[in-house]
Structures are given as C-alpha cells and as structure tokens.
C-alpha cells in the first residue's frame, strides 16, 4: 500500500524547499510529539475501516488512487499551505495553477481559456451554470436523466428552471426529446454529459451542437468523469466524434481527481469565451495589494482554495504531459481496453448479462434471473458475497425498461433493477480480470 521511497522523496523535496527560507532567523514551531504520535496511531487504526480503494480488486466506485508525484507534491506544499484565492497567499502556486489551466485548455483545443481549479465537479458545474444563467437569464437548463444529480440541484440553487431529458438504451440523451424541449422556446443551456457517472455513456455531442446552433442555445459539457479520454486512440467512433467537437462547447468541467491522478478535491471549470470573467470581477479592500495582475480569486466563486491542489496537478502534468502519445494517455487506454474485455467476458457468462457496450471504463451488468425483482435480489447477494471474498463492486438502480432491452427473457415486475457496476479505471485492472471474473462467478454460484 505504501512505498517507502515516496517518504524519502518527500523528505528530500522538503529540504530543498526549506533552503528558500534559510535567510530568516531560526524558528521551528514546537508540538507535543508523544501526544501527536498517540493520536495519529488512533487515526491510523480508524483509517483501516476503508475499502482497499488503491487495490485492483476494488472495482466499485470512481476512486482512483493519486499518483505518487501528486501525493508528494501535495504534502510538500502543506508546509507552506498556500491559498490560491489571491497572489499574496500563493506567490508560487497561483502561477502554477494558471499554467495548469493553459495545459488543460489545450487538451480541448482552446488557447488560454478562462478557468480555474475548484474543490470538485459540483462547484465547477455550479460556476458554469451560474454563467449560463447570467447570459440566459431565467432560461431553462436541460440535462440527461442520467446526468449527475447535482445539475438539477444546482439549477434549483441558482433559481433556474430545469428539465431532465430521457435516455436511450445506450444511456445517451434522446435527440428527439432534446428538440422537443428546444421547440418550447425557453431553454438557455443544454448540458452534454461526456461520460455519465452511471453508465459512462457519452452524449451525442455533434448532434447536440447542431441543435444548439439551430435554436440559439448554449452548450455546457460536463466532462467531470470523462474529460481526459479524448487523449485516447481506442475510443469507439461515436465517442471519438463527441470528443473531436468538444472545442465547440461554451464551457467544460473536468475533474483531475477522477482520471487526472490527483487527490481529492481537484475539479476544474473552463470557459471558451474569456470575457465571461466580467461576471466574476469584484474588488476586495484587503486581499489584492501586492500585484496589479488578475487574481484567481477574481474569476472564482470560491474564495479560499488549496494551493496544494495546483502544486500537485502541475507536478503531475510535468511528469505526464497531456498528449495523445504519452504515458498518461496510454494508461487511460488500458482502462478502456479492460472495460471492453470485461464486457465480453460477462457476455459469455451464463450468470451475468452486461448492458450497453462501454464507451469509457464503466461496465454495468445484471444478474440473470427469471424476473427483474429476482435479478435485483441476486445482485445484492452477489455484491455482499464478492465483498466478503475481497472483490469490491458497486450497485446501481437502472430503469427496468433499459434492463429489459438486454434481458428480454426476464419478467418485468419492478420499476427499476439493481445492477452491478464496475469502474475499471486503474491501469492494472486488465491484468486482474482473470481473478475478478473468478471471484465474481464464485460469488454468483454460492
């Protein structure tokens, strides 16, 4: 779980950082070491009560371990504890954040977009929809029925009307349903989900953009989960077409703490039109005095933000550039391949029925049973048995109408079906599929 080499690298990096303050009079903050040690041991014991998120046998929720360089850089920066709200509190980390934003924007074909890091996708989407509401006051937000639930909640917070859009059997928004809503004339923004958190489905962005242009509405891309996969060379044709047109949307959200190898929380919001910064602009009587440059706090709804997130992300992007031919893209591609292989193996199983072919690295599958209610019961039993055997999955409630399309022999006697869901986001997952399938089949046969 812990590589001692990381602690050696952290110690060396801290020594280098400390030399930058060597001209100051000696001062070392004191603390009660035995008392701290005792509390830390208690905390360490309490922290044992977690699933093994770092291990390949954890194939449940979207929990990807941060890379060693991100952990070390984040920890190192805590001895300075920069606040990226204003340059006065983040002389080094604010410039690093701005460089990260340029690199993330370049990944989508944008040159110097307006943007900043956030605590996560929820805050990033809040800012994107806040700008949408300022540009289209009172207009409705529409998003997939399989979009993250925060879009409806955020719309409510912002006082904007919201409508969900029905999805097809592949988990994507139905285009006819989008157009039907657009024809009502009160839609201001379409949220296209680029990898929804349930199925990993990628909404049909090319068609959505064409509809948006025809009806004069904005498009926001919630790519919190799938935002990095455009770097891959093994996407399916439909997903590839969506990523190839991401540069045409008005705003993008991506979460480096999902596939970007970062610790929680590190989200990001980007705007194609930098002039939307006028909605953020404000004056502060005390935080902006050392520089006339634009402060990150002037283009963010959040005030105090951890500079450590920017330090960690910058270090990671230096080691693993956001290029289509690099190691980082290769790891993402391995997750896509693992999901496709897992889907194929489930298709050959007599006990499981996978749903839609995965577009990213998420696979959803039902347990074969005579009825949808029986399939739900069986899924919950498999989930528990697998956990006892050391294989950790996730469960998802899927509309019975979608499951019936893949399990037509089952009698539909429930509105939804409890399905199993595996997120194969670790590069090692492909090498562990034999063991994962062995434990899964054994759990179903018990």
On the question of pLDDT at 293 being above 80, the answer is: no
Nearest in space to 312 (alpha carbons), one of 63, 79, 68, 19:
68
Widest distance between CA atoms in the chain:
78
**76 versus 284: which is more confidently predicted?**
76
Binned at pLDDT 50, 70 and 90, residue 288 comes out as very low
| pLDDT on residue 319 | 98
Following DSSP, what letter does each residue of 405-422 receive, concatenated? HH-TTSB--SSEEEEEEE
Q: What is the pLDDT of residue 88?
A: 83
pLDDT, position 287: 44
Please write the tens of the pLDDT for every residue from 407-433: 999 999 999 999 999 999 999 999 999
Residue 318, preceding bond cis, omega within 30 degrees? Answer: no
Contact, 309 vs 262, CB < 8 A? Answer: yes
Does the pLDDT value for residue 282 go beyond 70?
A: no
Question: Percent of the chain scored above 90 by pLDDT?
Answer: 92
Over the stretch 255-279, which tens digit does the pLDDT of each residue have?
999 999 999 999 999 999 999 988 9
Q: What is the mean pLDDT of residues 110-121?
A: 94
End-to-end CA, the chain: 30
Checking if the pLDDT of 33 tops 90, the result is yes
Instruction: Work out the mean pLDDT of the chain and round it to a whole number.
Output: 95
Rounded Cα distance between 164 and 141, Å, is 9
CA distances from 402 to 31, 49, 147, 193, 197 (A): 58, 36, 16, 19, 16
Using pLDDT thresholds of 50, 70 and 90, give the confidence band for residue 300. Answer: confident
Q: Among 50-59, 137-146, 176-185, 295-304, whose mean pLDDT is lowest?
A: 295-304
Average confidence (pLDDT) over 60-78: 97
The mean pLDDT of 191-201, rounded to a whole number, is: 97
Q: Nearest CA to 208 among 237, 169, 165? A: 165
- Enumerate domains of the chain plus CATH numbers: 87-319 (3.40.640.10), 327-445 (3.90.1150.10)
The pLDDT value given to residue 290? 42
Q: What integer is the mean pLDDT of 100-115?
A: 95
Q: What is the DSSP letter of 424?
A: -
pLDDT of 359-400, one tens digit each? 999 999 999 999 999 999 999 999 999 999 999 999 999 999
Residue count (the chain): 446
Can you list the alpha helix ranges (DSSP code H) found in 280-355? Answer: 307-319, 327-347
Q: What are phi and psi of 26, to 5 degrees?
A: -60, 130
pLDDT band at 295 (very low <50, low <70, confident <90, very high): low
* Confidence (pLDDT) at 12: 98
Checking if the pLDDT of 198 tops 50, the result is yes
């Amino acid at each position: 779980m812990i590589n001692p080499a990381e602690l050696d690298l952290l110690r060396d990096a801290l020594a280098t950082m400390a030399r930058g303050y060597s001209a100051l009079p000696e001062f070392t903050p004191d603390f009660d070491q035995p008392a701290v040690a005792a509390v830390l041991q208690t905390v360490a014991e309490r922290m044992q009560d977690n699933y093994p998120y770092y291990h390949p046998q954890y194939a449940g929720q979207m929990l990807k371990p941060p890379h060693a360089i991100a952990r070390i850089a984040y920890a190192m920066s805590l001895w300075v504890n920069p606040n990226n709200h204003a340059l006065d509190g983040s002389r080094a980390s604010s410039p690093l954040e701005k460089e990260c934003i340029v690199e993330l924007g370049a990944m989508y074909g944008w040159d110097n977009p307006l943007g900043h890091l956030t605590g996560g996708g929820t805050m990033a989407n809040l800012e994107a929809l806040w700008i949408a509401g300022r540009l289209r006051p009172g207009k409705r937000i529409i998003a997939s029925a399989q979009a993250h639930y925060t879009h409806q909640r955020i719309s409510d917070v912002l006082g904007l009307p919201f409508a969900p859009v029905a999805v097809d059997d592949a988990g994507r928004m139905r285009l006819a349903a989008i157009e039907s809503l657009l024809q009502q004339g009160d839609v201001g923004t379409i949220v296209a989900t680029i990898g929804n958190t349930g199925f990993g489905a990628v909404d049909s962005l090319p068609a959505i953009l064409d509809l948006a242009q025809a009806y004069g509405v904005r498009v926001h891309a919630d790519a919190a989960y799938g935002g990095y996969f455009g770097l891959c060379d093994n996407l399916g044709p439909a997903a590839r077409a969506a990523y190839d047109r991401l540069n045409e949307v008005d705003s993008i959200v991506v979460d480096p703490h999902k596939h970007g190898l970062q610790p929680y929380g590190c989200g990001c919001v980007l705007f194609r039109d930098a002039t939307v910064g006028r909605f953020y602009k404000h004056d502060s009587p005390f935080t902006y005095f050392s520089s006339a440059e634009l402060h990150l706090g002037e283009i963010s709804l959040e005030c105090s933000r951890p500079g450590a997130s920017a330090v960690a992300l910058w270090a990671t992007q230096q080691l693993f550039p956001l290029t289509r031919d690099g190691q980082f893209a290769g790891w993402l591609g391995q997750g896509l391949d693992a999901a496709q292989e897992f889907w194929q193996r489930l298709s050959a199983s007599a006990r499981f029925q996978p749903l839609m072919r995965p577009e990213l690295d998420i696979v959803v599958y039902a347990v074969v049973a005579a009825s949808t209610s029986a399939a739900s019961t069986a899924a919950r039993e498999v989930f528990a048995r697998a956990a006892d055997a050391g294989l950790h999955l996730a469960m998802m409630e899927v509309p019975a109408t979608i499951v019936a399309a893949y399990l037509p022999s089952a009698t539909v006697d429930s509105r939804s079906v409890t399905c199993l869901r595996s997120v194969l986001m670790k590069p090692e997952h492909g090498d562990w599929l034999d063991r994962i399938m062995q434990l899964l089949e054994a759990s179903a046969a018990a």
